Amino acid sequence: MQYSIGEFSQITRASVKALRLYHEKGVLVPDFVDPESGYRYYSQEQVGEARVVANLKELGFSLSEIKEVLDSCEEDDDLLDRLQEKRRDLEKRVKRFQDSIADIELVVSGQFAESGFAGSGESVVEKTVPDMLVAGHRIRGHYSEAGQGFRILGRRAGRVLTGKPMCLYFDGEYRDQDANFEPCFEVKKVVDHELLYCRKLAGGLALTLLHRGPYERLYESYAKLFAEVKSRDLRLLCPSREVYHKGPGMILRGNSKKYLTEIQFLVQ
């Protein structure tokens, strides 16, 4: 018994367009093709093959993968290795999608948007910085890796982040390759993850200065702060902090002339 492509489409719930594609890719070849009209005809036995193709498609197999399965597998047991491999592949894809969603949520939530911070880029301000619960990702490497640190924070703790991104610097000096620093965020509650370090960050008396402009000119504001520390004969406490009230976005860098970076020196 043979069925026309239209009849076979109704039986298998596969569109005529899909059946033609399956034929083209060698996945499901008609039992007979009329040499004069080019009409395709399918056998009763091929109904089962069409269901196998549909089932494998639902499991995420591509047509080329399905063809390999049909050519080499006869029993479900023959499929186990391929199914386990496909599961690992899908898990990786899900992880990438989850990371992308977390990045989007971080942008949409405005973590990197401009704040209403009011201050002067010309003068040092003395203030008390409160204690806060923070989650950080400690890095030993180049300062340019900070962006990746913030992405990790967004992906692993995005729903509990609050406030502006900041970075803690532990070296007390500039280092080219093996800098010891920590991108971090204030968080609403404790986050337990192997890539993150969550704890109370002690506050205290601080000298601060709001730097307006690109990071390449931060040295000018650091010079003003150090001069103030020296003039008051204060002792600088580690780590120093940078709070990014406005900086490059997660996607676009924006105008660096509009960046707002608050440098904080806790002092005694």
**Total domains in the fold of the chain:** 2
Give the residue from 57, 72, 87 where a domain finishes: 72
Same domain, 46 and 130: no
Q: What is the mean pLDDT of residues 95-124?
A: 65
What's the CA gap between 220 and 18, in Å, rounded? Answer: 65
- Residue 169 placed within a domain: yes
pLDDT in tens, 166-186: 999 999 888 888 999 999 999
Specify the CATH number for the domain of residue 19: 1.10.1660.10
pLDDT in tens, 238-264: 999 999 998 876 666 778 888 999 999
- Residue 29 placed within a domain: yes
Specify the CATH number for the domain of residue 205: 3.20.80.10
Give the residue from 47, 72, 97 where a domain finishes: 72
- Could you tell me if 260 and 210 are in contact, meaning their C-beta atoms sit under 8 angstroms apart? yes
Same domain, 66 and 129: no
Same domain, 238 and 135: yes
Of 93-97, 165-169, 188-192, least confident by mean pLDDT is: 93-97
What's the CA gap between 101 and 192, in Å, rounded? Answer: 20
- Could you tell me if 163 and 178 are in contact, meaning their C-beta atoms sit under 8 angstroms apart? no
Q: For residue 136, give the nearest of 115, 152, 124 by alpha carbon.
A: 152
Residue 35: give the domain boundaries. Answer: 2-72
The pTM of the full predicted model, rounded to 2 decimals, is: 0.59
- Residue 135 placed within a domain: yes
CB neighbourhood size of 72 (10 A) = 10
**Dihedral of the alpha carbons of 44, 47, 52, 57, in degrees to the nearest 10:** 150
pLDDT in tens, 5-39: 999 999 999 999 999 999 999 999 999 999 999 99
User: Who has greater pLDDT, 44 or 247?
Assistant: 44
Same domain, 59 and 136: no
pLDDT in tens, 60-72: 899 999 998 888 8
pLDDT for 78 equals 73
